[in-house]
């Protein structure tokens, strides 16, 4: 059930991204945690492809 929900959510994001001229990318979920694997501390990561805000 949850796989279907994520698939639908992704489809909607891609649809609206295209509709409003925004780029949407699908990334594999592996190694996307903000928790450091060595120390367990949260390391903030930017999801942006550019350094400037859109």
18 located within any domain: yes
Q: How many domains is the chain built from?
A: 1
Q: What is the DSSP letter of 20?
A: T
The pTM score is 0.51
Q: Which domain holds residue 24?
A: 1-45
Cβ-contact 26, 10 below 8 angstroms: yes
51 located within any domain: no
Quick one: pLDDT at residue 54?
A: 44
What are the tens digits of pLDDT across the range 22-51? 988 888 777 677 787 788 788 887 766 665
Residue 13 makes CB contacts below 8 A (sequence gap 6+) with 24
50 located within any domain: no
Quick one: pLDDT at residue 39?
A: 80
């Amino acid at each position: 059930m949850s796989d279907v929900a994520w698939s639908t959510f992704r489809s909607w994001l891609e649809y609206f991204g295209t509709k409003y001229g925004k780029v949407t990318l699908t990334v594999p979920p592996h190694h996307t945690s903000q928790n450091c694997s060595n120390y367990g501390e949260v390391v903030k990561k930017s999801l942006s492809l550019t350094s400037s805000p859109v």
